[in-house]
């Protein structure tokens, strides 16, 4: 086990600890636990950044079919940290570190088996594709996290449940709806740019813009619903339950694309290429 593998396991551990600590902090209305969770999340993100730099520099060769999950999970946490500082609430961290932990765990369990990425997966277009899609998906994760809490609070409100414990310590529903809206407003342009760059890169790498690959089809479906949510919020002023439900649907479709399509379906995007 070299130093990069140690960093990977440490990052995984810290995301798990941060997830548990923040959940405990909100359930117990404990500000110290939430502060500790925030510090741990920042430490995990810092180590994650070093690990990602090692991959990009070629110092870590254990990439394989799941290598894309490393920058993707890093982008998720980075977006969560930015939204945390922007909105001055740690509620985003309730969902971002757990998602990062799951993605890194999938990367760990999938192994390498001498499999890596091709030379085609380099260059500015592919890099812009990966970065833009990661930011777009990171923001929809933030929107989905806010949506879960919004819908839960709405259910409690309709049931006329008293404000106590966890619910009393969470942001107001208007704040959660605003987070959902901001994440959608900024996330859709990034995701759109990522999809455009992805098809441009496919033309250069594989000779065709669209081949009917399952990953391409799912990406177009996700983009269409992302566009609908963006339009309904910006043009028609959607607020509350409908955009919250759509954000959750988009997050579920994104996980399907990342974990089911890439690993279980016959797709050129599975990154099963011989070195």
CA distance 83 to 48: 18
Q: What is the mean pLDDT of residues 82-91?
A: 73
Of the candidates 11, 13, 14, 72, the one whose C-alpha atom is nearest the C-alpha of residue 38 is: 14
> Residue 242 is encoded by which pair of tokens?
């409908």
Residue 57 CB neighbours (<10 A): 8
Of the candidates 191, 149, 176, the one whose C-alpha atom is nearest the C-alpha of residue 26 is: 149
Looking at residue 17, what is its pLDDT?
A: 93
CA distance 262 to 64: 13
Band of the pLDDT at 90, cuts 50, 70, 90?
A: low
Highest mean pLDDT out of 25-29, 136-140, 265-269: 136-140
Looking from the CA of 149 toward its CB, the CA atoms found within 13 Å total 29
In degrees, rounded to 5, the angle at the alpha carbon of residue 79 between the alpha carbons of residues 57 and 184 is: 130
CA distance 117 to 123: 13
Instruction: Tell me: pLDDT of 116 over 50.
Output: no
> Among 4-18, 62-76, 233-247, where is mean pLDDT lowest?
62-76
Of the candidates 108, 267, 140, the one whose C-alpha atom is nearest the C-alpha of residue 202 is: 267
Write out pLDDT tens, residues 167-200. Answer: 556 778 888 888 889 889 999 999 999 999 988 8
Instruction: Tell me: pLDDT of 91 over 80.
Output: no
CA distance 73 to 100: 5
Check residues 180 and 273 and name the one with the higher pLDDT: 180
CA distance 119 to 14: 33
**Whole-number average pLDDT of the chain:** 79
Band of the pLDDT at 111, cuts 50, 70, 90?
A: low
How much of the chain, in percent, has pLDDT values that exceed 70? 81
The Cα-based distances of 260 to 162, 203, 225, 257, 263 in angstroms read: 40, 24, 19, 6, 5
Instruction: Tell me: pLDDT of 206 over 90.
Output: no
Looking at residue 167, what is its pLDDT?
A: 54
Write out pLDDT tens, residues 220-244. Answer: 999 999 999 999 888 888 888 899 9
CA distance 70 to 48: 8
Backbone angles phi, psi at 273, to 5 degrees: -120, 150
Instruction: Tell me: pLDDT of 149 over 60.
Output: yes
Instruction: Tell me: pLDDT of 64 over 80.
Output: no
Write out pLDDT tens, residues 158-170. Answer: 877 665 555 556 7
Q: What is the mean pLDDT of residues 132-155?
A: 87
Give burial (CB, 10 Å; 0-12/13-18/19+) of 129.
buried
Check residues 20 and 264 and name the one with the higher pLDDT: 20
């Amino acid at each position: 086990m070299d130093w990069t593998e140690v960093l990977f396991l440490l990052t995984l551990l810290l995301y798990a600890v941060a997830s548990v600590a923040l959940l405990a902090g909100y359930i117990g209305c404990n500000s110290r636990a939430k502060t500790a969770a925030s510090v741990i999340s920042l430490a995990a993100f810092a180590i994650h950044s070093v690990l990602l730099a090692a991959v990009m520099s070629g110092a870590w060769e254990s990439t394989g079919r799941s290598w894309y999950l490393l920058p993707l999970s890093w982008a998720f946490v980075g977006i969560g940290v930015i939204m945390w500082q922007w909105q001055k609430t740690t509620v985003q961290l309730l969902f971002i570190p757990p998602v990062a932990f799951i993605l890194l765990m999938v990367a760990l369990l999938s192994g390498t088996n001498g499999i890596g990425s091709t030379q085609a997966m380099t260059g500015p277009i592919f890099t812009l594709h990966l970065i833009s899609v990661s930011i777009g998906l990171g923001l929809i994760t933030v929107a989905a996290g806010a949506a879960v809490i919004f819908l839960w609070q709405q259910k409690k409100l309709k049931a006329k449940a008293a404000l106590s414990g966890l619910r009393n310590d969470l942001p107001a529903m208007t704040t959660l709806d605003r987070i959902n809206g901001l994440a959608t407003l900024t996330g859709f342009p990034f995701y759109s740019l990522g999809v455009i760059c992805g098809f441009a890169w496919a033309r250069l790498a594989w000779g065709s813009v669209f081949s009917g690959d399952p990953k391409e089809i799912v990406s177009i479906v996700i983009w269409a619903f992302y566009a609908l949510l963006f339009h309904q919020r910006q043009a028609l002023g959607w607020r509350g339950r409908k955009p919250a439900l759509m954000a959750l649907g988009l997050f579920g479709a994104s996980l399907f694309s990342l974990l089911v399509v890439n690993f279980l379906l016959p797709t050129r995007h599975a990154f099963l290429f011989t070195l």
